[in-house]
Amino acid sequence: MKLPTSLLPLFFLLASSVAMPGQSLSESWQARVNATQAEQPHWMTPIATVTPRLEQEFRFDTVHQQIPTGNVTNVDGGKGLELIPARHIELLLNLPPYLFHQNPKAIDGMGDLSFTMKYRFLARNEEHGSAILTAFLGGSIPKGTYKNGSTSAVITPTLAGGKGWGKFDVQTTLGGTLPVNSANIVGRTIVSNTAFQAHVVKRLWPEVEINSTNWFGGDNDGKKQTFVTPGLIFGRFPIHGRLALSAGAGFQIALTHYHAYDHAVLASIRMPF
């Protein structure tokens, strides 16, 4: 996927501004990433909850939702490339997902294109308090085909934080979706996600997540759905240098009377570098 032309000057400015004398751009980049991540807790990114940590990785997810009218499989899950171009900043350049439908009346196709910027306000690694506070600003462009995406561009501001105690941590986010237009149809939402995570052995991270959405306006006005998502993550397995591999899976179970789907199976593969 090509970086949008309008973002190229900012991208290269951020990258080149931190190059040190005698270092190549890649060496300076990786030195900055190492220093940035050393300042924050070394938890694992949850299955569903977006971590407040700054990550540099490629991520690929798959979500299979059970729906009474026909199951839906979301390939890629709207994930993609995550980069740390400057201290305290992460950019997520997400690939559009592809949706497969079992309902013969629905047509398979691409979902919306999305992107996110994180800015980390506070970071304390395990030796200095194990805590973090980060703000996100996300957006999506309605590029979905055959009604597989939104009818409007959407802006998503979010506040995220986390706290650790020994081998246990909590990571949480609270945000909202703000349609650029057609808000009376699409509606606005407040979305919260909280992951309770443990590090039981060197590369095993069991967790339980609570994922909730509240609708305001639109066809789902006044509705709320909540899922509990037990999951298990394995990693990080070193491959070469900074390159590593982690993978995990979770199972979403509806807790509320209203839910857009009955349950879902989530799988995630990440390659940090």
Q: pLDDT value at position 3?
A: 46
Please state, in angstroms and as integers, the Cα–Cα distance from residue 57 to each residue in 82, 85, 163, 176, following that order: 5, 12, 22, 25
- Per-residue pLDDT 10s for the chain (273 aa) are 444 554 544 544 454 444 556 678 888 999 999 999 999 999 999 999 999 999 999 999 999 999 989 999 999 999 999 999 999 999 999 999 999 999 999 999 999 999 999 999 999 999 999 999 999 999 999 988 988 989 899 999 999 999 999 999 999 999 999 999 888 888 999 999 999 999 999 999 999 999 999 999 998 999 999 999 999 999 999 999 999 999 999 999 999 999 999 999 999 999 999
| Domain boundaries, given as residue ranges, for the chain | 5-272
Amino acid identity, position 190: I
| Rounded Cα distance, 44 and 55, in Å | 10
**pTM score over 0.85:** yes
Place of tokens 């949008």: 4
How many other C-beta atoms lie within 10 A of the C-beta of residue 225? 18
Query: Are residues 156 and 136 in contact, defined by beta-carbon separation less than 8 angstroms?
Result: yes
Q: Is the dihedral of CA 115, 147, 190, 163 positive or negative?
A: negative
Q: pLDDT value at position 9?
A: 45
Place of tokens 């047509």: 107
Q: Does domain 5-272 have CATH number 2.40.160.40?
A: yes
| Rounded Cα distance, 252 and 117, in Å | 27
Which structure tokens are listed for 1? 């996927």
Place of tokens 């996600």: 193
Query: Are residues 263 and 250 in contact, defined by beta-carbon separation less than 8 angstroms?
Result: no
Residue (of 136, 157, 140, 158) closest to 54 by Cα position? 136
